[in-house]
A and B are shown apart, each in its own frame.
Chain A
Amino acid sequence: ELKVEQNPLFLSMQEGKNYTIYCNYSTTSDRLYWYRQDPGKSLESLFVLLSNGAVKQEGRLMASLDTKARLSTLHITAAVHDLSATYFCAFMSNDYKLSFGAGTTVTVRA
């Protein structure tokens, strides 16, 4: 069974600074998803990474995938308050099952 370890679980960010969320997984997978969830809301798709070395950027967020290291990172550049949310990584196994990390709750303070 594919296991996903996400860290940190909680991240207090200072506005304007850079931070990284890490996501390790236990077995071979080349399908990585990042989601954002605001309190009381559903999941919003941020990135889909489908190959080793894939890097995608949207605004202040950049995600990358290293399948050899079984690691994905979500890098946040110059944090702003609007980025406060819970971020989840998820990996899909060959049988179409998404396994989620525990989530990283991000709070951005002035």
Chain B
Amino acid sequence: KAGVTQTPRYLIKTRGQQVTLSCSPISGHRSVSWYQQTPGQGLQFLFEYFSETQRNKGNFPGRFSGRQFSNSRSEMNVSTLELGDSALYLCASSLVGHRAQYFGPGTRLTVL
């Protein structure tokens, strides 16, 4: 079974731009979560989707948004990028929300 895939793997943007990251979950998994990992803040929850519905959102500004499609694939968008948005963005999928979450390889975003 293919694992969680994320595209792109690396991204370089400048301040003020926007970015869209994509996540394809493991086949059959309907829950997709997003996390931001930085050296200073560690791993922080962004949001979780199940059957195209956002069930929870972390403490991030409204510039961070996401969605999930009917095939369970998910995208997250960050608008008006700031230097502090530079991070590894990880996507995880699971069969249902509280079971084992399987992480993708991540997207390394650098904001210049």
Contact = CB atoms under 8 A, between A and B. Distances in A.
Band of interface residues on B? 20 to 34
Contacts of A25: none
Interface in A63-102: 88, 90, 92, 95-100, 102
A103 B42 contact: yes
Contacts of A92: 97-98
Interface in B62-112: 90, 92, 97-106
Given A33-B100, A48-B99, A95-B55, A42 B90 contact: yes
B103 A97 contact: no
Interface of B: 31, 33, 35, 42-45, 48, 50, 55-56, 58, 90, 92, 97-106
Q: Which are the 5 A-B pairs with shortest beta-carbon distances? A: A96-B97, A100-B43, A43-B103, A48-B100, A95-B56
